[in-house]
Amino acid sequence: MQATPLAAPAGAPSRKKRLELDDDLDTEGPTRKQAQSGPQPRLPPCPLALSPPPAPVRAPVGTTASRLGPYVLLEPEEDGRAYRALHCPTGTEYTCKVYPVCDALAVLEPYSRLPRHGHVARPTEVLAGTRHLYAFFPRPHGDMHSLVRRRRRLPEPEAAALFRQMAATVAHCHQHGLVLRDLQLRRFVFTDRERLRLYIFGNNTPEMRGPVGTSQQETPDVDTCCCDVNLDGWCGCQRSPLTKLVLENLEDACVLSGPDDSLCDKHACPAYVGPEILSSRPSYSGKAADVWSLGVVLFTMLAGHYPFQDSEPILLFGKIRRGVFVLPAGLSAPARCLIRCLLRREPAERLTAAGILLHPWLRENPTPSVPSGSHLWRTDQVVPSGPGLEEGEREAGLYG
């Protein structure tokens, strides 16, 4: 079987010679997304999407590695919708996403529409077989969902530095006519092995802990920080330079044909879905729905759990429709204000993605409202959802 390379988005290299593809790579049809198995403490995996779009196909490689041009496809990931791939000439690892070849234009269109951005991953090479499209992405090194699941709650300066990158990504996509739809923590991944490190000082010897559960003794290096946020003294922790987050891909993005961002589909992860998607309205604002999802992301980073939770989908959706949530204790007034500006039941009342970047919480380095050693920083402590008079006055004056 023969296959030819398909032109990748602007800036991505493509191969000119014909490639030999293994026959067993083109044997099965498309499969739908499946939920991640196994419960997780405090931050469970998100259930199935409400109405998933056509998913990448399963292209089994069996028990042995398969050759795909200059690449070797190794073990499958994401239930066979992706593979760990090795570029033989350089030894570089990639993630190979597999799609039906008939969806080639739909898969590549978002990348053609969107100008290059430092926080959006793009395929480095795209190959087309007789039935399947193979897109090779830089290999990620952990994601935000895993980080929050392990760390529970992130200090505000750390969360602000990470969330700023996410908001900038969404704002860039919205500016150029893309609605991301399936926004969630796990879709934002780290780009190198260093990632975020938390140094916990004790017995005069720092212990380095990474999001993947590694632990070793190492002298911390906190001389520089690419996000200009100094965490020295915050909750007794220091960290190495913060690494960059990127949106792992654009496979769920919807390309708008004009200024109208109305969508009719019900594609969303239940934990991140906005109340307007659950209503009987025939359409909803895709951009405002993305902003709601960003609100869920921010709340989860600062609280260590979703703002709306229930094991029964019907009960979960009822909580989302009501829009009542409990803010975690100890948050600064700007952080509380931003969360409330994003998780508003009425889409028209939410900030835009570009407006998020102008919020005081992201313009300033927030200070903790309680001492770091206070019992209020425990993850099981919560406060009433409505602010007190003094707190409400502080939030109301943030834009004054």
Is residue 387 in a domain? yes
Q: CA neighbours within 13 Å on the CB side: how many for 359?
A: 28
Q: Which of 139, 163, 184 delimits the end of a domain?
A: 139
| Structure tokens that stand for 201 in this block | 């000082």
The pLDDT of residue 121: 93
Per the structure, the complete domain to which residue 86 belongs is given by 55-139
327 and 352 together in one domain: yes
The pLDDT of residue 239: 42
pLDDT band at residue 152 under the 50/70/90 scheme: confident
247 and 188 together in one domain: yes
The pLDDT of residue 180: 94
CA 184 – CA 164 distance, rounded (Å) = 15
Is residue 121 in a domain? yes
210 and 316 together in one domain: yes
Is residue 20 in a domain? no
3-state helix, strand, coil in the chain (%, to 5): 30, 20, 55
Angle between helix 389-396 and helix 333-342 axes, rounded to 10 deg: 70
**Angle at the Cα of 380 from the Cα atoms of 371 and 231, rounded to 5 degrees:** 35
CA 301 – CA 202 distance, rounded (Å) = 25
pLDDT band at residue 265 under the 50/70/90 scheme: confident
More confident site: 115 or 52: 115
CA 118 – CA 168 distance, rounded (Å) = 10
Q: Residue 165 corresponds to which amino acid? A: Q
Q: Which of 107, 139, 171 delimits the end of a domain?
A: 139
Q: In the chain, how long is the greatest CA-to-CA distance?
A: 71
Is residue 4 in a domain? no
Q: Which of 139, 167, 195 delimits the end of a domain?
A: 139
Rounded to 10 degrees, the C-alpha dihedral 191/150/188/56 comes to: 100
CA 168 – CA 164 distance, rounded (Å) = 6
pLDDT digits (tens, 9 = 90+) for 40-99: 445 665 655 555 445 545 554 445 678 888 999 998 988 778 999 999 999 999 999 999
150 and 135 together in one domain: no
Q: Using DSSP bridges, classify how beta strands 245-247 and 188-190 pair: parallel, antiparallel or unpaired.
A: antiparallel
Is residue 7 in a domain? no
Domain count within the chain: 2
The pLDDT of residue 248: 93
Max mean pLDDT range (111-125, 185-199, 360-374): 111-125
198 and 237 together in one domain: yes
Q: Is the dihedral of CA 239, 245, 248, 254 positive or negative?
A: positive
Q: How many Cβ atoms from other residues are within 10 Å of residue 160's Cβ?
A: 26
321 and 174 together in one domain: yes
Query: Nearest to residue 43, comparing CAs of 290, 325, 301?
Result: 301
293 and 210 together in one domain: yes
pLDDT band at residue 203 under the 50/70/90 scheme: very low
| Structure tokens that stand for 209 in this block | 């802990």
Rounded to 10 degrees, the C-alpha dihedral 294/295/297/301 comes to: 140
